[in-house]
Protein backbone atom coordinates (compact mmCIF):
# COMPACT_ATOMS: atom_id res chain seq x y z
CA UNK A 1 0.00 0.00 0.00
CA UNK A 2 1.35 3.41 -0.94
CA UNK A 3 1.39 6.49 1.24
CA UNK A 4 0.00 9.79 -0.07
CA UNK A 5 2.55 12.55 -0.66
CA UNK A 6 1.49 15.98 -1.91
CA UNK A 7 4.06 18.32 -3.42
CA UNK A 8 2.86 21.93 -3.36
CA UNK A 9 4.56 24.57 -5.46
CA UNK A 10 3.92 27.88 -7.19
CA UNK A 11 5.79 27.40 -10.45
CA UNK A 12 8.91 29.42 -9.60
CA UNK A 13 12.33 28.13 -10.59
CA UNK A 14 13.10 26.96 -7.02
CA UNK A 15 9.81 25.01 -6.99
CA UNK A 16 10.36 23.43 -10.40
CA UNK A 17 13.89 22.33 -9.44
CA UNK A 18 12.56 20.81 -6.22
CA UNK A 19 9.80 19.01 -8.12
CA UNK A 20 12.31 17.53 -10.55
CA UNK A 21 14.75 16.46 -7.87
CA UNK A 22 12.66 15.64 -4.80
CA UNK A 23 9.13 14.71 -5.83
CA UNK A 24 10.31 12.72 -8.84
CA UNK A 25 12.83 10.84 -6.69
CA UNK A 26 10.21 9.34 -4.37
CA UNK A 27 9.74 5.62 -4.84
CA UNK A 28 6.37 5.11 -6.60
CA UNK A 29 6.07 1.71 -4.90
CA UNK A 30 5.99 3.54 -1.54
CA UNK A 31 4.46 6.93 -2.36
CA UNK A 32 1.51 8.12 -4.41
CA UNK A 33 2.77 11.61 -5.30
CA UNK A 34 0.35 14.36 -6.25
CA UNK A 35 1.83 17.56 -7.68
CA UNK A 36 -0.20 20.69 -6.91
CA UNK A 37 0.71 23.94 -8.70
CA UNK A 38 -0.94 26.55 -6.47
CA UNK A 39 -0.61 29.24 -9.12
CA UNK A 40 -2.77 27.18 -11.45
CA UNK A 41 -5.02 25.55 -8.85
CA UNK A 42 -5.72 28.37 -6.40
CA UNK A 43 -8.60 26.45 -4.80
CA UNK A 44 -5.98 24.13 -3.26
CA UNK A 45 -4.31 26.94 -1.27
CA UNK A 46 -6.73 26.23 1.61
CA UNK A 47 -5.66 22.56 1.54
CA UNK A 48 -2.00 23.58 1.74
CA UNK A 49 -2.72 25.91 4.67
CA UNK A 50 -4.69 23.21 6.48
CA UNK A 51 -1.74 20.84 6.04
CA UNK A 52 0.59 23.37 7.70
CA UNK A 53 2.38 24.55 4.57
CA UNK A 54 3.94 27.98 5.21
CA UNK A 55 6.05 28.30 2.08
CA UNK A 56 6.57 26.53 -1.21
CA UNK A 57 7.97 24.25 -2.36
CA UNK A 58 6.73 21.88 0.32
CA UNK A 59 6.08 18.17 0.47
CA UNK A 60 3.38 16.83 2.79
CA UNK A 61 3.82 13.20 3.79
CA UNK A 62 1.71 11.55 6.46
CA UNK A 63 0.19 14.91 7.36
CA UNK A 64 3.58 16.48 8.09
CA UNK A 65 4.71 19.41 5.93
CA UNK A 66 8.36 19.32 4.86
CA UNK A 67 9.55 22.73 3.66
CA UNK A 68 12.21 22.02 1.08
CA UNK A 69 13.56 25.45 0.21
CA UNK A 70 12.15 28.95 0.20
CA UNK A 71 10.57 29.88 -3.13
CA UNK A 72 7.64 31.92 -1.85
CA UNK A 73 5.58 32.25 1.30
CA UNK A 74 2.03 30.98 1.13
CA UNK A 75 0.89 34.54 1.88
CA UNK A 76 2.71 35.69 -1.29
CA UNK A 77 1.08 32.91 -3.30
CA UNK A 78 -2.35 33.90 -1.96
CA UNK A 79 -1.73 37.54 -2.86
CA UNK A 80 -0.70 36.73 -6.44
CA UNK A 81 -4.01 36.71 -8.28
Sheet containing strand 31-37, edge to edge, reads: 31-37, 3-9, 55-61, 64-73
pTM of the complete model: 0.90
Per-residue model confidence as pLDDT tens for the chain (81 residues): 899 999 999 988 888 898 999 888 999 999 999 999 999 999 999 999 999 999 999 999 999 999 988 888 998 888 865
Amino acid sequence: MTQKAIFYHAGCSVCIDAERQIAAALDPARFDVEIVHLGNDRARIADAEAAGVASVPALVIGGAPLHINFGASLADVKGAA
